Structures are given as C-alpha cells and as structure tokens.
Amino acid sequence: MVFNAICIWFAVGIELGRDHVKGLLDMENKSTRVVVIYGKGGIGKTTLATAVFSALDLTNHKYGRIDMQQNCSEGDIKLLQQQILRDIFSSNIDLRSLEEGRREMTKRFKEATHPVFVFVDNALKHNDLEKLVPVNELTLLPEGSRILLTTRNLNETINLLQGFERYSYQVDALPKAEAMKLLCEYALGSSEKTFDSTVDIEGLLRICSGIPLVLIMAGSKLREYARSVASCKEAVDHIKEGLLEGGMSARGRTLSNGYRITDEESLNDVLQDDQLSSDVPSLKEMYLKGATIDNLTTTLCRLKSLSSLTLHDCGGFTNIPETIGELTDLERVELPKCDSLVNLPNNFGNLSILKKLILSECLEVINIPDDFGNLCVLIELDLHDCSSLVSLPDSFGNLSALIELNLKNCSSLVSLLDNFGNLSALIELNLKNC
C-alpha cells in the first residue's frame, strides 16, 4: 500500500531516483561496489530500493534480499545468515552460532563463481551488520558483485564497507504540494479534494515533515475519525499531538524529556544527557510535555528561529519567561493543560506574526497582557476552560485577523468589551457556559 501510494504522487521522483541508483550500481561494470540509500525513517528508502531491485536484470547474479529490522537479536541475525546462505549460495545449514555463519559465508565468498547481489534493507546499526556478515571478507566476492543497502546512518555504514567502490544516494522529503496530495488521498479519498480552511492542515503537514509513511498514517487516522469539519479539527489536533509524543519526526531520536527536534541539522547540537546545547539557532519547533520551565528560560532566548512552541501539560510553572517575547519568528504557541500558569509575560504582544495561540484548560490564568492587541495576524485563539479568566484587555478589539475564538467554560469572565465588534474577521465564536 505504501509503495503504490508514493508511486501515485511521487512517480516521477521514484523513477528519477531509481534511474540514478541504477546508474550508481552500473551493473555492466566489473568492479565490486556498494551503493547506500540513506535518509530519515519513513522517508521512502525501502520503496526506492525495492523499485531499483525489481528493475534490475540479475540473470547472471546470485542474489538475495534481507531485512535487518530495527532491533535484531542474535537469534534474528543467525536466521538472516541462514537466509543469505540459502538464497544466494543454495546452502541449507542450521547454524549454531553467528561466528559459524560468518565462517560459512567467507567460505562461500571464496568459492563463488558468479557475481553476487545482496540487498540489505534497514541496516540501521553498523554493529549488527558486522555480526551478520564477515565485512572484511566481502572483498572476496567475485568481480561484478554488488551490495545495495538502506540505512539512516550513512557515515557509519559507508565507513564500515572499506575496499569497495562506494556510492550513496539520499532520499529527501516530499515537497509540500506532493505531501498535501498524499495526505488528501488517504484522509479524503482523493488528492483533488481539500480540507476546510478552519482545519489546521498546515500544522499537520509541518509535523509530518514530508515523510510519506507519517503522511499515510496521519491521513488514514483522519479518514477513520473525522466525520465533519468539527470532528476533523479535533482529529487533526489529536493526531498532531500523537505524532509529537510518539516521536514520529524520525529524525534520529526524540529526547526523553520531550524536546521536539524537527530540524535535522540541530540534531548534531543535542547533547547526550538530553539537554539542549547553547548553539541551536536553526531549531524550528519545540515540544515539551510535563516539563518544568526552569531548564527552558535561558535556552529560549537563543532559539531565534523557533516558529512553533508547544508546552503540553506543564503544570510546574506559573509564568512563561519574558524571553519568549524575543522569539519574533513564532507563528504558533500551544500551552494546553498548563494548569499552574497564571500570567503571560507583558511582552507577549511582541510576537507580531503569531497566528495561533492555544491556552486551553489553563485553569489559573487570570488576565491577558495589555499589549495582546499587537497580535495583528492572530487567526485562532483558544481559551476554553480558562475558568479563572476574569477579563480581556482593552486592546482585544485590535485583533482584526481573528477568525476563531473559543471562550467555552470561561466561567469567571464577567463581560465582553465594547470594542468586541471590531473583530471583523471573526467567523466562529464559542461562549458556551460563560
């Protein structure tokens, strides 16, 4: 299913990638070479490699395909060794150990009279690859042999395979337009359909990061749960949260304290002790759940490129640090269930390009800053279940771009301002139980 979907929307890209990798393999060349297809998890490495493998004429080769999977036990690796010996060398052996498997393969390498083609999918850990095959003996393979691998770790993999002509091909994320088509196909049943403008599909696309597997999963979930515009909006929010919490960025790792890294370059700046280093200016999106604010105060001011900040269920702090006002690239701030939060900083209005603000279920929030009206491009504001909120600032009527306002269950809110009618763009207003 994944392969067909990607071919529908990215057929040209798959064909170009397939032809490029076939060129790197250069099956007519008598040298022995390795081609590594690399990229993020779920990006389509296996899809591309499968397309290449299926398109090759391997009449003159002994060939086989194995899948390393993500976590291979020694028993799994031994079974893969037996598969290689059976599929490529027609040898049915019940191996007793990994070392016996490597000895048997070394023997077959030396005895082989035909070139060999080995497709190793998901070679994620170089030490598992070393356990699987006698890496240093691969050069014994007959001339014209090929090894095709998919991995997330290019440098580790390609450095391991010395003594070969080595080539690599990177699989990139889908462009935004193609990502939207793939999401619509799975969510709406057709790439020609579109979502209602009030549904935050842009946010979902950003989290999916152009990764086909994540887009397909998100689209399938949307189709399963969404039966109306309202339910679609709710489903999108749940799916976004699930993707963030599940670490579906597939960028290398999701840190245990909830830091969300969606900028691959910044992964190199993340320390092993789960702290953010001092120089991550390219970080675009951060997600924290259940965190305290102390370890974020000094870091926020350095994240000048941050466009999205989510603090979910962070009940251990009463105030957002003033440094957030310096993050003028922020387009969305989500602070759901921060039930100890009392106030936003006075400079919150500095976030001049902020489009979405979620303060839902912040039970202790009493007031909104006076400069709130400076958020002139704010489109969505969700304050539902802010049961301690007493009033809105006088500048609230300046939110001329506001389309959606949720004040549901704001039971302490005394009245609306006289200039409330200035919200000329407002389409959706929820005042239930106010």
**CA distance linking residue 280 with residue 259, whole number of Å:** 12
Residue 282 — very low, low, confident or very high, per pLDDT cuts 50/70/90? low
pLDDT band for 279, please (50, 70, 90 cuts). very low
- Nearest of 109, 18, 106, 102 to residue 62 by alpha carbon: 109
Under DSSP, is residue 247 helix (H, G, I), strand (E, B) or coil?
coil
Residue type, 247: G
What is the rounded CA–CA span in Å between residue 343 and residue 365? 6
| Residue 267: Cβ-neighbour burial (10 angstroms; 0-12, 13-18, 19+) | middle
| pLDDT one-digit tens code per residue, 152-188 | 888 878 777 777 789 999 888 788 888 888 888 888 8
Contact 384, 390 (CB under 8 A): no
Compute the average pLDDT of residues 326-352. Answer: 88
The tokens 């809105």 sit on which residue? Answer: 392
Tell me how far apart the alpha carbons of residues 366 and 382 are, in angstroms, rounded to a whole number. Answer: 15
Interatomic CA distance for residues 235 and 222, integer angstroms: 6
| 363 and 341 Cβ atoms separated by less than 8 Å | no
Listing DSSP states for 326-347 in one string gives G-TT--EEE-TT-TT--B--TT
pLDDT recorded at residue 133 = 86
pLDDT tens string 228-241: 656 777 778 777 76
**What's the pTM?**
0.52
